[in-house]
Copies of this chain bind each other. A is one copy, B any other.
Amino acid sequence: MNYPNGKRKTVINTVKTSVSNRGMSLEEDINTSNAFYLASDEAIIHKKPTPITIVKVDYPTRNKAKITEAYFKLPSTTDYNGIYKGRYIDFEAKEIASATAFPFACIHAHQIKHLEGVLRHGAIAFIIIRMSHYGIDYLIKAEDFLNYYKNADRKSLPYSWIKENGYEIKYSYQKPCDYLRVIKEIYEV
């Protein structure tokens, strides 16, 4: 729509932060950030491949195997891990639409157990939650999350708690989910 001064008003860009406008998923943003950390040799953190059970493989040509039947498996660990300054890093990332809470059902029981385990062994472990409604990414320390989770009489993490206990992750073009910046601030590394 054109205004009298001849300028176009870009209505779409009026939501609070930039995150929800980019149209990229949290996974893509974390992968881009990880690629930057890798290229700048700051940290080596990768997403694990999606676990699947392969049932049938065809060989249409001699060197190209084609999987023709496979099923998704429940992951037994979190999706991301790696190393930063000698420390083992481990986290799960979830994007949610709800404006009010993060449902515990988003994290499988195996992943909860995994987070408890790696924490006990000295990892830096956390959960990244993208609240799409607000366009904000939060880093929640695994110890804080687990503490709430175990004592909760409800089945979700309220937004008020996330705002108070989570750490906002800043966006930049090269590091759209710059969680390493938060790690540097809140952990002794």
Which residues of A approach B to under 8 Å, CB–CB? 38, 41, 43-44, 46, 48-52, 54, 64-73, 76-77, 81-88, 90, 114, 117-118, 120-123
Contact = CB atoms under 8 A, between A and B. Distances in A.
A44 B86 contact: no
A48 B47 CA distance: 10
A46 B113 CA distance: 14
Contacts of A87: 86, 88
Contacts of A84: 121
B83 A44 contact: no
Contact of A44 (B46, B69, B71, B118): B118
A143 to B, nearest CB: 15
Contact of A66 (B46, B69, B81, B82): B69
A71 B65 contact: yes
Contacts of A122: 83, 85-86
B41 A117 contact: yes
Given A44-B118, A66-B69, A86-B123, 11 more contacts: A41-B120, A46-B77, A49-B49, A49-B50, A49-B51, A65-B72, A66-B70, A83-B121, A84-B121, A86-B87, A87-B88
